[in-house]
Chain A
Amino acid sequence: MLIVRLLFKNAFRHKFRAFLTILSITIAILAFVMLRTVIGAWYAGVDASSASRLVSRNAVSIIFPLPLSYKDRIHQVDGVHLVSYGNWFGGIYIDEKNFFANFAVEPRSYLELYPEYVLSSKEREAFLKDRKAFAAGRKLAAKYGWKIGDIVTLRGTIYPGNWDFVLRAIYRGKTDSVDETQFFFHWDYLNETLKKTAPSRADEVGFYMIGVTNPDLSSAVTTAIDQTFKNSRAETVTETEKAFQQGFIAMSGAIITAIEVVSFVVIFIMLAVVANTMAMTSRERTGEYAILKTLGFGGWAIGGLIAGESVIISLCGCLAGITLAFPAAEIFKKALGMYFPIFTVEASSLVMAFASSLAVGILAAIVPIQRAIAIRIADGLRRIG
């Protein structure tokens, strides 16, 4: 117990230095966890995607549409039990800064295909009945203070004009990983309006969402659908919902890689800070280590004292950083919730932060331990007095 007490007393002997070092580690760990959480948030859509859903889009690019007539032909492919479709609407609510995802979808099949969007039966009926109706996620409605029956106008960018919608349903996610910031409305409303204003753009959909009877059939169904439209005027690329989501993420792959690199650079900075502190500390205590050696304590005991002190400082900073990560994530979520609807500190990030701190504590002590063990007792004792 005395040795443990000595460890703690040594760690906090220079209170100001220990405080500054721990503060640096706290900030580094906070930054590390937040960066890992941002990466996790990026992949949240992938994690939430279902293995029994496929997405079919134009083979040239997602921005090119597919004919509505494909719907029935896709339905006829073996293994397909449900087909829904939609368009990215890209409407703006009042101002560009109020960003949220908004889609035109075929509502009945969409809700059947996405049971994770939970609506009350009353609101579901009201949403399905009214062609100008829209459904919003709970967080989105709360953010803008929308209530059932409110009329919300979006300014179209892809589809010009002001589009009025009536809020008929507010959905909640079946699990925490479901995005509750989406806005979706009747595809028919979009299509019928286009028939009047831009007939050439009518009867076209941005993507098909396909439910398969068995996830094991996904590969065969994918091939069959793409084969069906081979050499047509709009060939398709069909993939699992997960692959589709990953495709979007791949577009920002460089950013994610940069964030990952920065998160590990932060750990190296932390290592440098702790190593510097331990180098100063052990140089100051050379005489004390010599005394302990004189009394009969061996290299392992001296090494244990230095490594223990280093690990204590690292882990104190780590625990403070992890503790602060939760309120910081909440603040981040409130500020940027529209861009990162699922922003949750993951256990894996905390484990990585803890393991990194432990490793930093041990690595930072290696050189001071080598020096303390190598120094001759007589030389060490000469530094006292």
Chain B
Amino acid sequence: MEEKPVIVDVEHVKKSYRRGQHIIPVLEDITLCIREGQFMALMGPSGSGKSTLLNLIAGIDRVDSGTIRVGGIDITPLSETELALWRATHVGFIFQFYNLIPVLTAFENIELPLHLTRLTAKERRLHVETALAVVNLSDRMDHYPAQLSGGEQQRVAIARALITDPAILVADEPTGDLDRRSAEDVLNLMARLNEESGKTIIMVTHDPRAAQRAQTLRHLEKGVLTDADCQAPF
């Protein structure tokens, strides 16, 4: 089987937080690589540092030391502005609580990231309609988040994450706030995106059923990857 190139390369990353006088280590010397098209689940108990690792890979937090390369770009030295631009084009985000803007419709929420591109209004509309069709919500485009179920809101969030065609999708507990059936729909959708569109997905989850849908499973405990093996074939 042909080995796909590494898209996320995490090397000797350390991260700690300051809480008053105390410095709390969260990640200790993490080394991890994720290959293109991989669907990886990160599991671990609360406080193990899995969301922190996800945030570091997605460029919404900064390492204390070590490097993170995504798609060949070392994101650790980038400024806030450079990181913001990088996130806009390279990463799609899926959150536990959907994080949609409540005063915007489903269509407008999905369209939002496209306002950072040079697309025309017509082109944006076309993109949004396509994304809505992918998540099977074309008939709900004019609904506000409060008018949608949890599962539908998460599908809108997935469409928003996909809209700029990012290299990787990061999902932090995407099924954590959903009932079993909606969770299943969302996981099916993510699996389909991975299989059909070749999207690289990194998912943090507590749910073993969700983790089973991933091709690779990694465990974090007390800031250490217990089964890390960067060279393991995918």
Contacts and interface: CB of A to CB of B under 8 A. Distances in A.
Interface in A12-39: 13
Nearest to A300: B81
A384 B113 contact: no
A9 B104 contact: yes
A304 interface: no
Interface in B57-109: 58, 60-61, 80-81, 84-85, 87-89, 93, 95-97, 99, 101, 103-104, 108
A274 to B, nearest CB: 20
A291 B101 contact: yes
Given A2-B108, A299-B80, A291 B113 contact: no
A165 to B, nearest CB: 70
A6 B115 CA distance: 12
Contacts of B133: none
A194 interface: no
Given A3-B115, A376-B61, A377-B60, A295 B103 contact: no
B103 A381 contact: no
A2 to B, nearest CB: 6
Nearest to B60: A377
Contacts, number: 69
B99 A296 contact: no
B116 interface: yes
Q: Choose among A1, A292, A298 the residue with the greatest number of B CB atoms under 10 Å from its CB.
A: A298
A287 B60 CA distance: 14
Contacts of A384: 95, 97, 99
Nearest to B82: A298
B113 A295 contact: yes
A10 interface: yes
Contacts of A298: 80-81, 84-85
B93 A294 contact: yes
Interface in B25-70: 52, 55, 58, 60-61
A5 interface: yes
Nearest to B62: A376
Interface in A131-164: none
A130 B215 CA distance: 113
B96 A2 contact: no
Contacts of B55: 377-378
B104 A6 contact: yes
B99 A293 contact: no
Given A299-B80, A376-B61, A378-B55, A10 B97 contact: no
Contacts of B80: 298-299
B111 interface: yes
- Chain A CB within 10 Å — which of B81, B95, B103, B104 has the most? B103
A378 B97 CA distance: 14
A287 B99 contact: yes
Interface residues of B, number: 29
A9 B80 CA distance: 28
A288 interface: yes
Nearest to A10: B103
B55 to A, nearest CB: 5
A160 B108 CA distance: 81
Contact of A296 (B87, B96, B101): B87
B60 A294 contact: yes
A3 B115 CA distance: 8
A385 interface: yes
Interface in A329-385: 376-378, 381, 384-385
A292 B97 CA distance: 15
A64 interface: no
Contacts of A288: 101
B102 to A, nearest CB: 8
Contacts of A385: 96-97, 177
B99 A2 contact: no
A7 to B, nearest CB: 10
A254 B97 CA distance: 61
Contacts of A294: 58, 60, 87, 93, 99
Given A2-B108, A13-B103, A297 B96 contact: no
Interface in A265-315: 287-288, 291-299
B112 interface: yes
A9 B88 contact: no
Contacts of A292: 112
A295 B112 contact: yes
A6 B103 contact: yes
Interface string A48-79: 00000000000000000000000000000000
A297 B60 contact: no
A125 B24 CA distance: 100
Contact of B116 (A10, A287, A296, A377): A296
A218 to B, nearest CB: 64
Contacts of A9: 103-104
A298 B61 CA distance: 15
Given A294-B93, A378-B52, 11 more contacts: A3-B115, A6-B104, A13-B103, A293-B60, A294-B87, A295-B88, A296-B88, A298-B84, A377-B60, A378-B55, A385-B96
Q: Which 6 A-B pairs have the closest CB atoms?
A: A296-B88, A9-B103, A385-B97, A377-B60, A291-B99, A298-B84
Interface of A: 1-3, 5-6, 9-10, 13, 287-288, 291-299, 376-378, 381, 384-385
